[in-house]
Chain A
Amino acid sequence: MKPIRRIPTWLQRILFYASILGPGLITASADNDAPGIATYSMAGSTYGYRFLWLIVAITVGELVVQEMAARMGAVTGKGTADLIRERFGVRVTAFAMFCLLLANLGTTIAQFAGVAAGTELLGVSRYITVPLAALLVGFLVLRGSYERVEKVLLVLCLAALSYVATAIAVRPSWGAVLRQAVTPTFSSDPGYILAVLATIGTTISPWGIVYMQASVADKGVDMERFRFTRLDVMFGAAWGNIVSAFIIITTAATLFVHGIHVETAEQAAMALAPLAGAGARYLFTTGLLGASLLAASVLPLSTAYAICEAFGWERGLDHRSREAPFFYGLYMGIIVLSVLVVLIPGIPLFPIMWLSQSLNAILLPVLLVLVLKLVNSRRVMGDWVNRRWQNILAWILTGLIVLVTVMLLVSPVLN
């Protein structure tokens, strides 16, 4: 008798590919989370198309970095924190984990700031919505019903696509867009440098690396199937950055031309007005909420996991809280602290959202240098060490971030 509980083979094949495709797409979509939208809106409205070349350059950087992280996950089956600890010992690990915690805490704050900004746009106080969002996120993740809700949130994130539609609708000068996309420009103005760092940090983030490696390792992707993962990484990075570029184009074509430099969510939402008219704020809030809740569910968890992995503490949701006090403590601590920061009366939400990403970029080189050392170690990677061109690109990226950070520090003196 033919068993009836089988899935047809063709469907299995699709499911197989779907199970491999994923991490890349998700990390890339996370580029356009609340801090991401804030960063690109701010950059586009303040500097017009001048940041487009940066997006092009960052896409290359993201491709190289994420591919390295995914490759490390596939070859070793281990997490980034695990490898760092085994290779560099306790002191370096403690420093790296401190940086990761700081960067991720900043980004989590930015996610809850996104919830606050989005809902206040609809006239609901953040003192109601932010604690509610934190409870929702905690409940979903700890009760394990998160995976079902994840899909709803992912759909909400599609609201970011409205930037693509708006950009096409407002008919920007595509010639100017293309010209700016290939013409690097730079300024030593501290505001500009912070914006550059934020744009880098929201696209290539420490948690993006850690997440990518962990999810590839967790799926048990081996090097035979790695070409699918590599494809996923490339597709995801390209896709995420295309959307990012369109956010810049839209805000440049709608806000920058009218001299509006985005400083609040209200102003940022106006960018979608040509498409949605009075509904722009609803559309904007939808995208912001979906992405913020998604990232707020994921970030504290992956941070707690990585840190516990590095120090060998019990971790994972299969442990009860008494068995894994550090894991749950970190998880709760990150969420509670983030909520409290966002609830400080009068704290400017929109600048928090993008400045947290500048912090991301400033802390990124710490992790990048360690990852580069690991990925070039034959003992760790066997024959899958970096090629020369990968090293060159990755070191250029690391060097540039450090250089820009130094410029930020000395720019007040220069000006």
Chain B
Amino acid sequence: MLYVSQMQNRQVWDAWGNPVGRCVDVLVGAVERNFPPVKALQLHSDTPHNGDRFIPAACVSSLYPSITLNVPQDKCLAYTPIGDELYLLDRVLDRQIVDTEGRRVVRVNDLQLARVGDQYCLTGVDVGGRGLLRRLGLESLAQALARLLGSSWKTGVIPWEDVAPLHQEDPLRLRVSHDRIVQLPPADLAAILNELDHPTSAALMETFNNETLADALEESPADVQVSVLSRMEPERAADILEEMDPDEAADLLADLPEQTSEQLLSLMEDDEAAEVRSLLVYPEDSAGGIMTTEFARAPIGLRAGELMDYLRRSESARDDEVMYYIYLEDENHRLCGVISLRDLVMAPPDADLAPWVNLDPVTVDPYTPQQEAAYKVAKYDLLAVPVVGPENRELLGIVTVDDAVDTVLPTAWKKRLPRFF
């Protein structure tokens, strides 16, 4: 296996055995491919009139154990970079990248090249301890030690296709990374964004669409949400808030300065803004503060088939992300009963639902502390608990189990250093 660290600053010889210069960088093209081919070597020679120049890969006969050209140096036409090359030593080695398989941010200790067909290609990224030791010149020593101890020595090489390099200054290449990163689950995406430095994560977020970003933000700690949103164009910030769950959006807006949040609310679509505003009324750690207003509701008294038809046409049901239960209400929107989706599906279409409806469901009011709501969810083994008005039992929203247990198990652990370390 050939590694770029073994080429770094190595003398390059031409076909007659004359020194041409030292290899200071390796340029690969077509980085979106799984095996980007080496396009050229950047050479530096100490003689002043030569300076830096690029030798095309076609002139190179071998890279290891020594770098030699297949022509005399004056027969080799210089390569002109066309702008889409990736400079491996300058831009990738020692930098942070995202390992999309391992879903984490890692540092590039070395880069692996291999001969594929008639050209050299970039095949993998060494992020393991072996790469570090190689750079320190201790690889053979460590290998001997490992052999002595009888243990096999793992390499930490990730294939290039599972890697997303991060170049904030380079929008074109960021696109490739984006395609590989957006497929990650939102929670991992959020963790990666939090791990990166601010400029890089901001550049990466520029490439995300609103929905992806909203999902990732929901999984992020409050201070990250605030810093991301306050750096954004207000129009885009409002669009992203619309994509978020209303309860999450309300929490975020509550953390922003009043003028900013008012401005964002006015930029949001009216019904979305109204929903968020209604949630802003309640304290953040109350049932009202964590409830969602997007849940399946239906009038009481329908038969099973009718109720299913109703839900298919109902907007509230469409917005419900999980729909563990269907909440049944009277004409004044007062909660009358609850039926689980399971029971509804299992019931014959023309059956009267009365036997399956729980007419006296456990409820909380919007000012119930979050702890208490979590306690009820746990005690009664619920997946969601409805929030009703304290006097009239008007159905206001539901607290789902994941939001309720947030007090016990916060989704976003302290992502960064303690403020003061």
Report yes or no: A317 in contact with B420, Cβ–Cβ below 8 A: no
Taking a contact as CB atoms under 8 Å apart, the answer to whether B280 and A305 are in contact is no
Q: Judge whether B33 is part of the interface by a CB distance below 8 angstroms.
A: no
How far, in angstroms, from A311 to B105 measured CA to CA in the complex? 12
Does B207 count as interface, using CB distance less than 8 angstroms? no
Cβ–Cβ contact B281 & A211, under 8 A? no
Q: Which of B74-115 contact A (CB under 8 A)?
A: 93-96, 104-109
Contact A218 B258, CB 8 Å, known A3-B280, A5-B283? no
Beta-carbon contact of A220 and B258 below 8 Å: no
A312–B127 touching, CB < 8 Å: yes
Q: Tell me how far the C-beta of B131 lies from the nearest C-beta in chain A, rounded to whole angstroms.
A: 9
Q: Which of B127, B282, B289, B421 contacts A305 (CB under 8 A)?
A: B421
Q: Is the CB of B136 within 8 A of A90?
A: yes
Is B311's beta carbon under 8 Å from chain A? no
CB–CB B281/A301 < 8 A: no
Using known A-B contacts A89-B135, A90-B132, determine if residue A301 contacts B197 with beta carbons closer than 8 Å: no
Question: Which residue on chain B has the smallest CB distance to residue A299?
Answer: B421
Question: Is A6 in contact with chain B by the CB < 8 A criterion?
Answer: yes
- Which segment of A141-149, A347-355, A359-367 sits at the interface? A141-149
CA distance A23 to B284 in the complex (A): 29
Kindly state whether residue B200 has any CB partner on chain A within 8 Å. Answer: yes
Q: Is the CB of B106 within 8 A of A312?
A: yes
Q: A77-B200, A90-B135 are in contact. Are A4 and B281 (CB under 8 A)?
A: yes
Distance (whole angstroms) from the CB of B101 to the closest CB of chain A: 15
Check if A383 is an interface residue, CB within 8 A of chain B: no
Q: Is A264 an interface residue (CB 8 A)?
A: no
Contact call B421/A215, Cβ cutoff below 8 A? yes
Asked if A147 and B418 sit within 8 Å, CB to CB, the answer is yes
> Binary interface profile of B, 184-222, with partner A (CB < 8 Å = 1, else 0)?
000000010011011110000000000000000000000
CB-defined contacts of A187 to chain B, threshold 8 Å: none
Partner of A311, one of B95, B132, B195, B259: B132
Contacts A146-B418, A220-B227 given; does A4 touch B135 at CB 8 Å: no
Docked-complex contact A211 and B421, CB < 8 angstroms: yes
Known interface pairs A3-B281, A220-B227, A318-B191. Does A311 touch B107 (Cβ–Cβ under 8 Å)? yes
A82 to B107, CA, bound (A): 10
B26 to chain A: closest CB distance in Å?
Answer: 15
What residues of chain B lie closer than 8 Å to A77, measured between beta carbons? 197-200
Contact status A317-B135, CB under 8 Å: no
Contact between chains at A217 and B197 (CB < 8 Å): yes
Q: Which residues of A contact B283 (CB under 8 A)?
A: 4-5
Contact A301-B415, Cβ < 8 Å, known A86-B94, A220-B198:
no
Contacting residues, chain A, for B418 (C-beta < 8 A):
141, 144, 146-147, 150, 301, 317
Q: How far is the CB of A64 from chain B (nearest CB, A)?
A: 23
Contacting residues, chain A, for B259 (C-beta < 8 A): 9
A305-B416 Cα distance, complex, nearest whole Å? 10
- Chain A residues with CB under 8 Å of B96's CB are 82, 312
User: Once bound together, how far apart are the Cα atoms of A302 and B277, in whole Å?
Assistant: 41
B417 contacts chain A at the CB level, 8 A cutoff: yes
Q: What are the residues of chain B within 8 A of A305 when measuring CB–CB?
A: 417, 421
User: B257 within 8 Å of A by Cβ?
Assistant: yes
- Number of B residues, CB within 8 Å of A: 42
Q: Is A1 an interface residue (CB 8 A)?
A: yes
| In-complex Cβ contact of B107 among A5, A26, A85, A94 (8 A) | A85
Q: In residues 216-251 of chain A, which contact B (Cβ within 8 Å)?
A: 217-218, 220
The verdict on A217 contacting B198 (CB below 8 Å), with A5-B284, A85-B94 known, is yes
Number of residues of chain A lying within 8 A (CB) of chain B? 42
Taken together as a complex, chains A and B put the C-alpha atoms of A78 and B105 apart, in Å, by 14
Q: Determine if B281 and A1 form an interchain contact, defined as CB atoms under 8 angstroms apart.
A: yes
Contacts A5-B254, A90-B136, A316-B417: A76 and B197 contacting too (C-beta < 8 A)?
A: yes
Q: Does A100 sit within 8 A of B, measured CB to CB?
A: no
Chain A CB within 8 A of B379 CB: no
Of the candidates B127, B136, B420, the one whose C-beta lies within 8 Å of that of A298 is B420
In contact, A94 and B198 (Cβ under 8 angstroms)? no
Q: Report whether A91 and B135 are in contact in the complex, using a CB–CB cutoff of 8 Å.
A: yes
Q: Please tell me if the beta carbons of B420 and A150 are within 8 angstroms of each other in the complex.
A: yes
Bound-state Cα–Cα, A144 to B412, Å: 13
Contact across chains for A312 and B197 when beta carbons are under 8 A apart: no
Counting CB contacts under 8 A, is A137 at the interface?
no
Residues from chain B with Cβ under 8 Å of A297 in the complex: 421
The reply to whether the CB of A120 lies closer than 8 angstroms to some CB of chain B is no
Q: Which residues of B contact A76 (CB under 8 A)?
A: 197, 199
For A94, the closest partner residue in chain B by CB is: B136
**With the chains together, A267 CA to B416 CA distance in Å?**
42
> Distance (Å) between the CB of B84 and the closest chain A CB?
20
Q: Which residues of B contact A215 (CB under 8 A)?
A: 417, 419-421
Taking CB atoms, residues of chain A closer than 8 Å to B107 are 85, 311-312
Pick the contact of B420 from A3, A22, A314 — CB < 8 Å? A22
Contacts of A6 in B (CB 8 A): 254, 258
Are the C-beta atoms of A86 and B132 separated by less than 8 Å? Answer: no
* B199 contacts across to A, CB distance below 8 A: 76-77
A217–B197 Cα gap in the complex (Å)? 7
A188 within 8 A of B: no
**Most chain A CB atoms below 10 A, which of B107, B135, B191, B414:** B107
Q: Does A214 contact B (CB under 8 A)?
A: yes
The answer, yes or no, to whether A12 is at the interface (CB within 8 Å) is yes
C-alpha gap A301/B414 in the complex (Å): 14
Interface residue B380 (Cβ < 8 Å from any Cβ of A): no
A79 to B282, CA, bound (A): 39
Give B219-260 as 1s and 0s: 1 = Cβ < 8 Å from A's Cβ atoms: 000000001000000000000000000000000001001110
Compute how far the CA of A137 lies from the CA of B234 in the bound complex, rounded to whole angstroms: 43
Q: How far is the CA of A146 from the CA of B417 in the complex (A)?
A: 11
A22 to B, closest residue via Cβ: B420
Q: Shortest beta-carbon distance, B401 to chain A, in Å?
A: 22
A409, chain B: closest CB distance, angstroms: 28
Chain A, 130-155, contact with B by CB distance < 8 Å: what is the 0/1 string?
Answer: 00000000000100101100100000
Is the CB–CB distance between A144 and B414 below 8 Å?
Answer: yes
Give Cα A141–Cα B419 distance, bound, in whole angstroms.
12
Contacts of A311 in B (CB 8 A): 107, 132
**Nearest Cβ distance between residue B408 and chain A, in whole angstroms?**
14
Neighbour of B419 across the interface among A1, A78, A147, A220, CB < 8 A: A147
Roughly how many angstroms separate A90 CA and B131 CA in the complex, as a whole number? 10
B276 to chain A, nearest CB (A): 10
Contacts of A301 in B (CB 8 A): 417-418, 421
Residues of B within 8 A of A218 (CB): 416-417, 419
A212 to chain B, nearest CB (A): 11
Q: Are B136 and A316 touching (Cβ within 8 A)?
A: no
**Per-residue 0/1 for B120-155: is the Cβ within 8 Å of any A Cβ (1 yes, 0 no)?**
000000010000100110000000000000000000
User: Which residues of chain B are within 8 angstroms of A91 by Cβ–Cβ distance?
Assistant: 135-136
Q: In the bound complex, do residue B195 and residue A316 qualify as a contact, i.e. CB atoms below 8 Å apart?
A: yes
Given contacts A77-B200, A90-B136, A317 and B413 within 8 Å (CB-CB): yes
Chain A, range 277-302, C-beta contacts under 8 Å to B: 297-298, 301-302
**Chain A 1-22 interface mask (CB, 8 Å, partner B; 1/0):** 1011110010010000000001
Given A5-B280, A215-B421, 6 more pairs with CB closer than 8 A: A3-B280, A4-B283, A22-B419, A144-B414, A150-B420, A211-B421
A-B contact pairs, 14 of them (CB 8 A): A1-B277, A9-B258, A12-B257, A22-B419, A76-B199, A77-B198, A82-B197, A86-B95, A91-B135, A144-B418, A215-B421, A220-B227, A297-B421, A316-B195
Interchain residue pairs A-B with the least CB separation, the first 4 = A312-B107, A90-B135, A77-B197, A77-B198
